Amino acid sequence: MPVGTTSAPIACASGPLAALDADLLVVPWFEDEPTDAVPGVDAAVAGELARALSSKEFRAAPYDLFLTPVVDGGWRARRLGVIGGGRRADATPDRLRKLASAAGLAARRKRVGRAAFAIRGDGDLGNLAQAIAEGLTLAEFDGGTYKTGDPPPAPPPAWTIAVGWSNRQPDDRIVARVARGRVLGECSNLARGLANEPGNTLTPREFAARASALAADAGVRVDVLDEARITELGMGLLLGVARGSSEPPRLMVFHHEPPGAPQTPVLGLVGKGITFDTGGISIKPADGMERMKDDMAGGAAVACAMRAIALLNAPIRVVGVVPATENMPGGRAIKPGDILRSAAGKTVEVINTDAEGRLILGDGLWYARQLGATHLVDVATLTGACVVALGKITSGLFGTPSEWVDTVRRVADREGDRAWPMPVFEEYFDQMKSEIADFTNTGGRAAGSITAALFLKQFTGGLPWTHMDIAGTAWADEERPFMPKGATGVAVRTLAELAFEPLEVRS
Ligand code: BES
Ligand code: MN
Ligand code: ZN
């Protein structure tokens, strides 16, 4: 992993589109727009755009791409690519992020060397510029295979974002937003790389080594606690899950402490770091189990968000906590019916060893509180039930109070991490009654993602807390025009941008 290496910056250009020197100039195009919606473009391609629009070869449906040579000698770009943006009313930063990503992937397929992307869309130019930089950067991700015969992937093109063609000037603010998008996109890609990595290479120890290197490289203070320290802290839930594996667990702790930052608020980020989830003794079916190598996507999101938070100089204190272990069915593994004692002192009857994420997060949330967190957010590939409820497009959002959940939702929305609120009514917790412990770790099939959230809530000490269930959104099963199959990097940008929100401190 290229720790410390940052790819070349994305340039910003002002001035007329004709002056842009590039192998490919990409211009977003919306449905039902007149041919002169972007002045000069149709003439530069000798009317080819108007022809493609009227013949319906190009309809401007989302991610449609129409390429044609630039023939006007007064233009410096060699080729024009118009990319369909759908309805003009949908020209949001999120749509532009996806358009930029689709354009980036297409430019790589065509082995373009220098490319430019013209900003179009609604709202604040800075928001658009950042989203486009994020999208272009997301398209630079290389899945990194272990195929021995493959040639190395084509290097991504050098990008310029054209902001000035309609009298909009790339002032310092826009340049800064492009750089910000670059960092957030890169940190998302680092998280994708970690989540794609197989369980045999990314053991808890290796996960901790890589995650701490990429965070420390950005100036984050990192502690990696070993089994002895975890035992001293009394983390019986994390240790319980780890018992089935011959790989020892790790607890990653990240601190962002900007000089002069106020003592509070302290944002506490907690991520599930199961490097492989077999289910343990309550073993999962073989079909599709290979996917469970990404059960540490939440933990990767926290580590990579910490890197972004430091690189972007977030003004507040942030702590990150990532409990990491395998969930394996070894001879010393925990068994259904076993009782575990959490670091917070509460006892748990393990009904199903496959409900392991909530166990390790229980101890993780407790530890974030010990480190002074005033506002908690946890991210976890926690339940199949959340995938049933919301599918693969939307993460589940749980928590309390609703103002804090709304803040997370607003930021997530802005960053393209779609999330939707789910209830955490206390009555659901009745499903987790135990005869012999404080509560069980499962509540049956009904409302499975909600009972999981209520389990976590027992460890939040009444602090403002939001839980993101990313079981459906962490991994793309199908290729989309803007996203290849595999890890998506969900939640990295949301967690990082949260460190720039004004957090209300309750006394
Ligand atoms: N890591 C899984 C959840 C998961 C399922 C993530 C599918 C991504 C895709 C989690 O540890 C798990 O196994 N949850 C169980 C809980 C059940 C035993 C109460 C589940 O969802 O089946
Ligand atoms: Mn599980
Ligand atoms: Zn799991």
What pLDDT shows up at residue 150? 81
CA pair distance 471, 475, nearest whole angstrom? 8
| Short-list 177, 137, 162, CA closest to 14 | 162
Alpha-carbon distances, residue 208 vs 241, 243, 462 (angstroms)? 17, 18, 29
**What does the block give as tokens for 82?**
């118009």
Contact of 197 with 300, CB cutoff 8 Å? no
Lowest mean pLDDT among 19-28, 164-173, 189-198, 492-501: 164-173
Between residues 457 and 150, which one has the greater pLDDT? 457
pTM here is 0.97
Q: How confident is the model at residue 3 (pLDDT cuts 50, 70, 90)?
A: very low
pLDDT of 144 > 90? The answer is: no
Is-catalytic flag, 358?
Answer: yes
What pLDDT shows up at residue 6? 65
pLDDT of 5 > 70? The answer is: no
Lowest mean pLDDT among 135-144, 377-386, 423-432, 460-469: 135-144
CA pair distance 468, 268, nearest whole angstrom? 14
- Would the CB of 336 count as within 6 Å of ligand 1? no
**What does the block give as tokens for 383?**
């339940």
Any idea which ligand is nearest the CA of 441?
A: 1
Name residue 421's beta-bridge partners.
397
Verify cis geometry, omega within 30 degrees of 0, for the bond prior to 265: yes
| Percentage of the chain lying above the pLDDT 90 cut | 92
Mean pLDDT across the stretch 151-175? 81
CA pair distance 505, 375, nearest whole angstrom? 9
- Would the CB of 385 count as within 6 Å of ligand 1? yes
Lowest mean pLDDT among 139-143, 277-281, 465-469: 139-143
Q: What is the mean pLDDT of the chain?
A: 96
**What does the block give as tokens for 60?**
């401007």
End-to-end CA distance of the chain: 43
DSSP assignments along 240-281, one per residue: HHHTT-SSPPEEEEEEE--TT--S--EEEEEE-EEEEE--TT
pLDDT of 115 > 80? The answer is: yes
Phi, psi torsion values for 65, nearest 5 degrees: -125, 130
Name residue 323's beta-bridge partners.
251
Lowest mean pLDDT among 3-12, 158-167, 424-433: 3-12
Is-catalytic flag, 392?
Answer: no
Alpha-carbon distances, residue 93 vs 120, 482, 501 (angstroms)? 10, 14, 19
Q: How confident is the model at residue 14 (pLDDT cuts 50, 70, 90)?
A: confident
Beta strands in 21-131 (DSSP E): 24-29, 65-69, 79-84, 114-118
Beta strands in 147-205 (DSSP E): 158-162
Mean pLDDT across the stretch 22-29? 98
Cα(21) to centroid(ligand 2), Å: 52
**What does the block give as tokens for 481?**
């025009």
Alpha-carbon distances, residue 13 vs 19, 162, 165, 188, 366 (angstroms)? 10, 5, 9, 25, 48
Mean pLDDT across the stretch 207-229? 98
| Short-list 503, 488, 435, 391, CA closest to 185 | 488
**What does the block give as tokens for 327?**
């969930």
pLDDT digits (tens, 9 = 90+) for 345-371: 999 999 999 999 999 999 999 999 999
Alpha-carbon distances, residue 19 vs 14, 25, 77, 103, 175 (angstroms)? 9, 11, 8, 20, 19
Please identify which of the residues 95, 243, 272, 358 carries the catalytic annotation: 358
CA pair distance 190, 297, nearest whole angstrom? 11
Q: How confident is the model at residue 503 (pLDDT cuts 50, 70, 90)?
A: very high
What pLDDT shows up at residue 170? 62
Enter the DSSP assignment of 399: E
- Would the CB of 354 count as within 6 Å of ligand 1? yes
Q: How confident is the model at residue 166 (pLDDT cuts 50, 70, 90)?
A: low
Lowest mean pLDDT among 152-166, 307-321, 450-464: 152-166
What pLDDT shows up at residue 225? 99
Strand, coil or helix: what is 152? Answer: coil
Contact of 234 with 209, CB cutoff 8 Å? no
Element (H, E) at 415: none
Cα(312) to centroid(ligand 3), Å: 31
CA pair distance 47, 44, nearest whole angstrom? 8
Cα(475) to centroid(ligand 3), Å: 14
Nearest CA owner, ligand 1 atom 3: 383
Please identify which of the residues 79, 110, 284, 418 carries the catalytic annotation: 284
Contact of 306 with 254, CB cutoff 8 Å? yes
CA atoms within 13 A on the CB side of 172: 0
Nearest CA owner, ligand 1 atom 5: 384
Instruction: Work out the number of other CB atoms within 10 angstroms of the CB of residue 264.
Output: 15
pLDDT digits (tens, 9 = 90+) for 465-482: 999 999 999 999 999 999
Q: How much helix, strand and coil, in percent to the nearest 5, is found in the chain?
A: 35, 20, 45
Strand pairing class (317-327; 273-277) = parallel
Cα(279) to centroid(ligand 2), Å: 5
What pLDDT shows up at residue 167? 54
Q: How confident is the model at residue 151 (pLDDT cuts 50, 70, 90)?
A: confident
Instruction: Work out the number of other CB atoms within 10 angstroms of the CB of residue 77.
Output: 26
Mean pLDDT across the stretch 41-69? 98
Mean pLDDT across the stretch 24-43? 96
Instruction: Find how far residue 50's CA is from the centre of its chain.
Output: 39
Lowest mean pLDDT among 50-59, 150-159, 267-276, 415-424: 150-159
Strand, coil or helix: what is 63? Answer: coil
- Would the CB of 449 count as within 6 Å of ligand 1? no
**Best residue for ligand 1 mutational test, from 382, 428, 445 (most atoms within 8 Å of Cβ):** 382
